[in-house]
Each structure stands twice: as C-alpha cells, then as structure tokens.
C-alpha cells in the first residue's frame, strides 16, 4: 500500500463549542461556527505497512503516544477490511501546545490521509464524523472558509457533523494570533469543558445561550455583516470563559497580556478598524479582521506588553490529499 499525505488547516471558533452531550463520541452539547485558516496547518502522512506490529506516530519529528490516533485508524481498518498497522508522520506549521488547536487540523489531516490510504472513499460528512471522534473541533477542519458544526440529535452521532457555510474567497477575513505565552501548560479543552460541565453553575445558561449566537453569526456571514459577527463572536467567547471561570476550581485561561490585547482590540474597533477578538482554552488572543486590516492589527497587537509574537493568516480551504 502507498503512503498518502494530506493537509488540513487549523480552525478558530467564532461561536464556541464548550461542552458535550456524549463525552465518549465527542457529541457537542450545542452547535458552533468557525473559520478555517490557510497558514496554520498540519501535514500528515499515513503509511500502512505489513512490517509493523503496532501503529507508530512521529509528531514534529518526535515519537509520540498513539493512544488517540489508534482508535481512528482502527475504524478505517474495520471499514476497509485491511488490518495493516500504520506509520503516521505529522508536522504542524505552528507550535504544538501553544493553544492553537493542533488537534483540530491534526485529526482532520489524519482522517483524510487514512481514508485515501485505506481506500475507504468516505464523503465529507463522514470524514467530518470520523474527525469528530478524534476531537470535537476537528470535525470543522474538514471544510474551508466559514463552517458550522451541528450538534445532531442521534445517539450514534451520525448527524453531529460539520458543513460549509461560505467559501473563504467570498469573505476573505484575516486572522491575527497574538501569542502571549509560548509553551503554555493550560488545562486542555477536553478537561476544561468536562470540569465546566460538572461543576459550573453557569454551564446550563451557557449552553442555552448558544443557539441565539449561532443564529446571529449565521445571519452575519450570509450578509457579510462584520459588526453583527463581531457582536456574536465576542459575546460567545466571553460567555464561554464566564462559564469556565465559574467552574470549581475556576478555570482562568487568561494572563495579563491576554486582557491587554482584548482592550486593544476594542480600542481599535472603537476607532473604526474592523476587528474583534476571540479566545480559546489558553492565553492567546485571536483577532478576526476585515480584509486588508490584518497588518495594522498585527502591528498594534505586537506592541502590547507581554505579546511574544503575532502570526497573521488568511482563511483557507478544507482538508485534502496532497498529490
Ligand atoms: C475552546 O475540540 O479540543 O477551542 O472535543 O474534547 O477534543 P475535544 O475538545 P476540542 O475543544 C475545542 C474548544 C475550543 C472552542 C472551539 O474550538 O469551538
């Protein structure tokens, strides 16, 4: 069998996924809306081989545990009827563990490469389902541009898949990531959302508030209404963090520079720049900018005390095999 290489872009949720209706299948408690990024990507090569006695993973050149990828490969082995173990080599174009969601691009690239290597020929919805079983947010990285993840209602999760809302080229927003701490050791998204679900008195209210944000964000994307997207996006991020802050013990993902960046983004917007913020389960700030405004926002965020570096990227395409 041949080695297959696939790539997938990381994604950033504008309406957040934070909580599950089924932890085993990563079924989200509510929907989410994200943008897929062009330049923050994972490239993964899957090589099934009769010479292997178990799966192997090389992550950015280093041997890594296969605990999370072996169940994904098992499903492709089961569907294809081919029981070969695989060598998996995965590289990220951005620092792993810097709060930049490498699991999303990682699992999306893995399932696309495995699908081609095992010849299973799954369609995008089924690839999204397989990616979700690796990590909830990975279901969205199968698609490019603006993407919506459905919570689904079936117990088997077959309807909890993502679908595209709008191509990147149709509204080429720009993203600036302000890194305020490198190699940060935050509580992982999985652990953070579990703790929030189990202990936060605000968790229910958070989940109940998501459909209204989804509706606003969907309408904003359809109408290319940046101000409406900014309102929905900032509100979703702040409410997600409010629910996490109220967990026991409280999850405080932000540092001083994170907060300083949030204020800087609001100052820029008040002065007329098209920009809004979002923050995931870590201290980095992601600024979503109108087309052609990314460079100015990047320069301003780079000057905020405590910002280590900034990364600029366009929105990008969905996951695919590299030929
Ligand atoms: C804050 O997809 O990493 O980035 O499903 O447990 O693997 P698991 O969690 P994960 O959570 C992402 C949470 C988030 C918000 C988002 O991406 O929607």
Q: Is residue 51 part of a domain?
A: yes
pLDDT for 162 equals: 98
Domain boundary pick from 110, 136, 167? 167
Residue to probe by mutation, ligand 1, list 136, 149, 206, 239, most atoms within 8 Å of CB: 136
Confidence of residue 321 (pLDDT cuts 50, 70, 90): very high
Residues 42, 126, single domain; the answer is yes
The closest-lying atom of ligand 1 relative to the alpha carbon of residue 26 is 5
Q: Is residue 321 part of a domain?
A: no
Distance between CA atoms of residues 200 and 31, nearest Å: 20
- Full DSSP string of 170-188: GS--EEEEEESSTT--PPP
Please provide residue 175's backbone torsions phi and psi, each rounded to the nearest 5 degrees. Answer: -120, 135
Q: What is the pLDDT of residues 23-46, one digit of tens each?
A: 999 999 999 999 999 999 999 999
Q: Is the CB of 101 under 6 A from ligand 1?
A: yes
- The CATH number given to whatever domain includes residue 62 is 3.30.230.10
Establish whether the linkage from the previous residue to 249 is cis, with ω within 30° of 0: yes
Q: Is the CB of 210 under 6 A from ligand 1?
A: no
Instruction: Using the mean position of ligand 1's atoms as its centre, give its distance from the Cα of residue 104 in Å.
Output: 8
- The CATH number given to whatever domain includes residue 213 is 3.30.70.890
Q: What is the pLDDT of residues 247-281, one digit of tens each?
A: 999 999 999 999 999 999 999 999 999 999 999 99
3-state secondary structure of 196: helix
Confidence of residue 1 (pLDDT cuts 50, 70, 90): confident
pLDDT for 96 equals: 61
pLDDT for 184 equals: 65
DSSP 315: B
Residues 195, 267, single domain; the answer is yes
Q: Do 287 and 234 touch, CB atoms closer than 8 A? A: no
pLDDT for 209 equals: 98
- 């996006």: which residue's tokens? 233
Instruction: Using the mean position of ligand 1's atoms as its centre, give its distance from the Cα of residue 296 in Å.
Output: 29
Domain boundary pick from 124, 146, 167? 167
Q: How many structural domains is the chain composed of?
A: 2
Q: Which of 116-130, 174-188, 195-209 has the lowest mean pLDDT?
A: 174-188
Residues 52, 87, single domain; the answer is yes
Please provide residue 253's backbone torsions phi and psi, each rounded to the nearest 5 degrees. Answer: -80, -15
pLDDT for 97 equals: 52
Residues 129, 187, single domain; the answer is no
Instruction: Using the mean position of ligand 1's atoms as its centre, give its distance from the Cα of residue 214 in Å.
Output: 16
Give me 202's structure tokens. Answer: 């605000």
Instruction: Using the mean position of ligand 1's atoms as its centre, give its distance from the Cα of residue 198 in Å.
Output: 16
pLDDT for 102 equals: 79
Q: Which of 57, 52, 59 is nearest to 1 (CA)?
A: 52
Q: Which of 323, 320, 322, 321 is nearest to 144 (CA)?
A: 320
The closest-lying atom of ligand 1 relative to the alpha carbon of residue 17 is 18
CA nearest ligand 1 atom 7, residue: 135
Beta-strand relationship, 56-59 and 85-92 = parallel
| Mean pLDDT along residues 141-166 | 98
- 């490969």: which residue's tokens? 73
Q: Which residues contact 198 (CB under 8 A, 6 or more apart)?
A: 247
Give the chain's mean pLDDT: 96
Q: Is residue 89 part of a domain?
A: yes
Residues 42, 162, single domain; the answer is yes
Residues 45, 148, single domain; the answer is yes
CA nearest ligand 1 atom 1, residue: 280
CA nearest ligand 1 atom 6, residue: 190
Residues 13, 144, single domain; the answer is yes
| Domain coverage including residue 140 | 4-167
Q: Do 312 and 287 touch, CB atoms closer than 8 A? A: no
pTM above 0.95, yes or no: yes
CA nearest ligand 1 atom 5, residue: 136
Residues 134, 187, single domain; the answer is no
Distance between CA atoms of residues 6 and 323, nearest Å: 9
Residues 162, 219, single domain; the answer is no
DSSP 136: G
Give me 119's structure tokens. Answer: 């010849």
Residues 116, 178, single domain; the answer is no
């Amino acid at each position: 069998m041949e080695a297959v290489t696939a790539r997938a872009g990381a994604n950033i949720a504008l309406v957040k996924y934070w909580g599950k209706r089924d932890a085993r299948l990563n079924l989200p408690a509510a929907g989410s809306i994200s943008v897929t990024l062009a330049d923050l990507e994972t490239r993964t090569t899957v090589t099934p081989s009769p010479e292997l006695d178990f799966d192997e993973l090389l992550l950015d050149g280093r041997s890594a545990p296969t605990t999370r990828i072996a169940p994904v490969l098992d499903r492709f082995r089961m569907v294809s009827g081919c029981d070969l173990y695989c060598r998996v080599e995965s590289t990220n174009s951005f620092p792993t563990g810097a709060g930049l969601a490498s699991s999303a691009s990682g699992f999306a690239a893995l399932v696309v490469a495995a699908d081609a290597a095992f010849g299973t020929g799954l369609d995008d919805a089924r690839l999204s389902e397989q990616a979700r079983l690796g990590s909830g947010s990975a279901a969205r990285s199968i698609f490019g541009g603006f993407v919506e993840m459905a919570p689904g209602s079936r117990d088997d999760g077959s309807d909890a898949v993502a679908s595209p809302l709008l191509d990147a080229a149709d509204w080429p927003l720009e993203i600036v990531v302000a890194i305020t701490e490198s190699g940060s050791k935050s509580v992982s998204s999985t652990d953070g959302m579990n703790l929030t679900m189990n202990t936060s008195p605000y968790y229910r209210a958070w989940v109940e508030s998501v459909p209204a944000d989804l509706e606003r964000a969907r309408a904003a994307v359809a109408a290319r209404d940046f101000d409406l997207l900014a309102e929905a996006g900032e509100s979703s991020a702040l409410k997600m963090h409010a629910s996490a802050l109220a967990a026991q013990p409280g999850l405080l993902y932000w540092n001083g520079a994170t907060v300083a960046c949030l204020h800087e983004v609001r100052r820029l917007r008040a002065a007329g720049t098209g920009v809004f913020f979002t923050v995931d389960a870590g201290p980095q700030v992601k600024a979503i900018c109108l087309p052609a405004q990314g460079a100015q926002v990047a320069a301003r965020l780079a000057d905020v005390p405590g910002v280590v570096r900034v990364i600029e990227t366009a929105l990008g395409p969905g996951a695919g095999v590299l030929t």
